[in-house]
Amino acid sequence: MKRMLQLTAFAASAILVSGCNSQPKAENTAAASSNTTAAVAPSANDPVSSAESAAPASIAHNASIVTMDANGAVTVVRKGSNGWTCIPDSPATPGPDPMCADANAMKWADAWIHHKTPPGGTVGLMYMLEGGTDASNTDPYADKPTSTNNWVKTGPHIMVVGSKEILAGYPSGPSPDTSGPYVMWAGTPYAHLMVPIGK
């Protein structure tokens, strides 16, 4: 649940900082697809290096960096120039979970956070090259594992959100093999493609 609160602040902050940014440049997106090396080794004491570790250096170095304290106060640590927003690992979650998202992914995240229907046909990307906190594969709002909510563990990955069409042909059962691409939250408005990726 604390990660949900952090994402809420993340979405709100990203809207603020991305309003000053252009959409991701074609060369940045192309570079990201060919460079899957995280920007820098993460540091628990350095929010910038932690946030930058979530995505390829070609994206992370020019992204906005946003943090949030225990009371939910948001700080824009660095204003970016490429339309991406990154947040560092949350100390309140058990695993490393820094993330970077483009502007379209932030629209999707904002809809998820506020229990609204995501915009259709607005494909977005999120990077989590350090991995992600374990989550339910069937309940978008679960905050702990139960005997029925199909908790999954996923290592470094990217998420493709905002497109129902892209999900066709990928496994969408409640207990997927997380070593390959699979659909998370299938059957909900927040279904998205999880793509495991090497660092």
CA dist 138 and 135 (Å) reads: 9
Q: Which domain holds residue 170?
A: 2-196
Question: How many domains is the chain partitioned into structurally?
Answer: 1
Q: How far apart are CA 60 and CA 148, in angstroms?
A: 37
Q: What is the pLDDT of residue 63?
A: 97
Whether the per-residue pLDDT at 9 is higher than 90: the answer is no
pLDDT exceeds 60 at position 118: yes
